[in-house]
Amino acid sequence: MDLSLPNVRGMTELDREKFSKEVNVPSVEILSQNIGKSMHVFKKYLLKMEKLKPVVEVDGTVERKKMLLDPLLFETVEKLSEEQQTKLSELDVNNDNFSRTCLHLQYENFRIDDIFKAVLPEGKEGCTSYSRIGHIIHLNLRDHLLPYKNLIGQVLIDKLIGVRTVVNKSSAIDSTYRNFQMEVLAGETDFITEVKENLCTFKFDFSQVYWNSRLCTEHERIIKLLPQNCVLFDVFAGVGPFSVPAAKIRKCQVFANDLNPSSYHWLKENVRINKVAKVETFNLDGRQFIREQLSSFLLRKPTEPIHVTMNLPALAVEFLDAFIGLLAGIELDSLPDITVHVYSFCEESSAFSEMRTKVESSLNHSIEDGQIVELVDVRDVSPKKHMLRLSFRIPIEILAKSRPEVEEETSEPKRLKLDLESQD
């Protein structure tokens, strides 16, 4: 079925009236009482378009109804299987029941992909992906699509149920707190949203915190890795996608930290909303959090396994040196296993070896194969860049080392401009 609309190519301001086209599609008239029975034959051939019912009334009678069929799927009765033709004969359906029906399609009938294919430049990448965060659609438009940004935003609001705001992000993060400037392309300037994930509700101001819906699967993986009733130190907790479900689902004792005051605010709010116990929240630099809070906790001589999540891929590896000498000069009879889950961006061609080298370099200590829990390729960030996670049990020798004589530094406020694609 030809859905081309040559008169809208290059449109930059949405004109819904121009999305109008007449098409002829195959159809079949069937006794109303046999519609259900005939679905066994025609279900996979039905015409599927937005705001268009594939079974319609026949003018002047209630005894018969018309099924609209997709011309790309249905050709002729003769092309049906012998079993299907036998079924139609039993229902008294033959060639005389088939005809062509003229449909007048309007804007409401076209899918998002059909509209973008008709409007956007031929031969170039279209608007193929977006993230949804509650009522917000988050885009990262390429330069050649920027002239069409307002049209794209309005189409998404028109077509996606529950969407009230469409934003496009700038090309770089220039912030201590991983938030970024965004432009509202269509809809309301309302950034406070709610997201459901891993049996939890997360509420936050999307313009002030970092949230990536594409990490939902990774959040779930980590929660499943945590033993019941273990202890979690979440160094870069954000609004709590690790911390809150860890406390709610795995009944962990959680120490959750984020430097961003807005993330810290919503982290506390999400702890309250989800009614989770045993969660302490902090608004500290990541290195300070490890050296103060984890260190003091270890002095209590805990017996439960301890897990440490460090999800700040652009910089997290640099914070691993906070573990060096964490217990220097302190004698403890025994320590529970401390498993660190650290994230980083690596080049595709050498991702796994690069990740291990980065971690060992920051710790100034080798990690034995037996100390590695898993090395996971979390997702593709760009064609040549991957986000990886190395989960490993930290060697006791690292904690007991004499701390190197280096200037105390707080790396988070010194963040440089980060490639926004890396944070996506």
Question: H or E stretch including 397?
Answer: helix 396-400
Q: Taking residues 198-222, what's their average pLDDT? A: 95
Mean pLDDT of 233-262: 97
Closest CA to 230 of 215, 218, 242, 217: 242
State the DSSP H helix or E strand holding residue 84, giving kind and residue range, or none if neither.
helix 82-90
Asked if 57 and 134 sit in the same domain, the reply is no
Residues 352 and 247 in one domain: yes
In this structure, what CATH number is given to the domain that contains residue 185? 3.30.300.110
**Residues of the chain with pLDDT > 70: what percent?**
92
Span 209-227, average pLDDT: 95
Same domain for 380 and 277, yes or no, is: yes
What's the mean per-residue pLDDT of the chain? 91
pLDDT in the model for residue 318: 95
Residue with the larger pLDDT of the pair 191 and 332:
191
Long-range contact set of residues 345-350: C-beta below 8 Å, sequence gap at least 24 = 345/313, 345/314, 345/381, 345/385, 345/386, 345/387, 345/388, 345/422, 346/385, 346/386, 346/388, 347/384, 347/385, 347/386, 348/380, 348/383, 348/384, 348/385, 348/386, 349/384
**Cα angle for residues 340, 344, 350 (degrees, 5° grid):** 115
Question: In whole angstroms, what is the distance from residue 231 CA to residue 302 CA?
Answer: 9
> Last residue of a domain, which of 73, 105, 137?
105
Whether the Cβ atoms of residue 390 and residue 355 lie closer than 8 Å to each other: yes
Give yes or no: residues 56 and 82 share one domain: yes
**Annotated binding-site positions for S-adenosyl-L-methionine:** 219, 258-259, 285-286, 311
User: Across the beta sheet with 279-282, what order do the strands follow?
Assistant: 279-282, 253-257, 231-234, 306-310, 338-347, 385-393, 372-382
Query: Is there a domain that residue 145 lies in?
Result: yes
Which residue numbers belong to the known binding site? 219, 258-259, 285-286, 311
pLDDT band at 218 (very low <50, low <70, confident <90, very high): very high
Helix/strand/coil for 339: strand
Across the range 19-46, mean pLDDT stands at: 94
β partners of residue 27: 68, 99
pLDDT beyond 70 at 38:
yes
pLDDT confidence band for 404 (50 / 70 / 90) = low
Q: How does pLDDT run across 188-209, given as a tens digit for each residue? A: 999 999 999 999 999 999 999 9
Rounded distance between C-alpha atoms, residue 53 and residue 28, angstroms: 14
Same domain, 156 and 285: no
User: Which residue bears the tokens 């993060």?
Assistant: 173
Mean pLDDT computed over 305-311 = 98
Q: What is the CATH number of the domain that holds 275?
A: 3.40.50.150
Who has greater pLDDT, 380 or 339? Answer: 339
Q: Which pLDDT band holds residue 173 (cuts at 50, 70, 90)?
A: low
Answer yes or no: do 95 and 28 share one domain.
yes
Q: To 10 degrees, what angle do helices 112-119 and 149-159 make?
A: 160
Residues of the domain holding 97: 21-105
Q: Of 186-200, 242-256, 356-370, 404-418, where does mean pLDDT reach its minimum?
A: 404-418
Question: Do 79 and 179 share a structural domain?
Answer: no
DSSP character at residue 336: -
Same domain? For 90 and 131 the reply is: no
**Mean pLDDT of the region 58-86:** 92
Q: 365 in a domain, yes or no? A: yes
- CATH classification at residue 69: 3.30.70
- Does 374 map to a domain? yes
Instruction: Say yes or no: 382 and 239 in one domain.
Output: yes
Q: What is the pLDDT of residues 115-135, one digit of tens each?
A: 999 999 988 777 768 999 999
- Contact between residue 162 and residue 189 where contact means Cβ atoms under 8 Å apart: no
Last residue of a domain, one of 135, 160, 190: 190
Domain identity same for 169 and 304: no
How far is Cα 240 from Cα 246, in angstroms, rounded to an integer?
A: 9
The number of residues making up the chain comes to 424
For residue 351, pLDDT beyond 90 = no
| Domain final residue pick, 76, 105, 134 | 105
Strands (E), 270-310: 279-282, 306-310
Q: Do residues 320 and 340 make contact, with C-beta atoms less than 8 angstroms apart? A: yes
Q: What is the DSSP secondary-structure string of 139-159? A: E---GGGGGGHHHHHHHHHHH
At 381 the pLDDT is 86
Q: What is the structure's pLDDT at 97?
A: 94
Residue 35 vs residues 32, 89, 374: alpha-carbon distances, Å: 5, 14, 55
Q: What is the DSSP letter of 338?
A: E
> For position 18, what pLDDT does the model report?
95
pLDDT at 122: 87
Q: Does any domain span residue 6?
A: no
Q: Is 79 exposed, middle or buried (0-12, 13-18, 19+ CB in 10 A)?
A: exposed
Q: How far apart are CA 158 and CA 331, in angstroms?
A: 64
Mean pLDDT of 12-36: 95
Asked if 246 and 379 sit in the same domain, the reply is yes
- What pLDDT digit, counting tens, does each position of 87-117 carry? 999 999 999 999 999 999 999 999 999 999 9
What is the residue whose two structure tokens read 């025994």?
Answer: 334
422 domain-assigned = no
> Is residue 272 within a helix (H) or strand (E), and if so which, with residue range?
helix 261-273
The confidence band for 410, taking pLDDT boundaries of 50, 70 and 90, is very low
Residues 74 and 156 in one domain: no
Residue 412 lies in a domain: no
Asked whether residue 64 is domain-assigned, the answer is yes
Q: Is residue 7 part of a domain?
A: no
| Total number of domains constituting the chain | 3
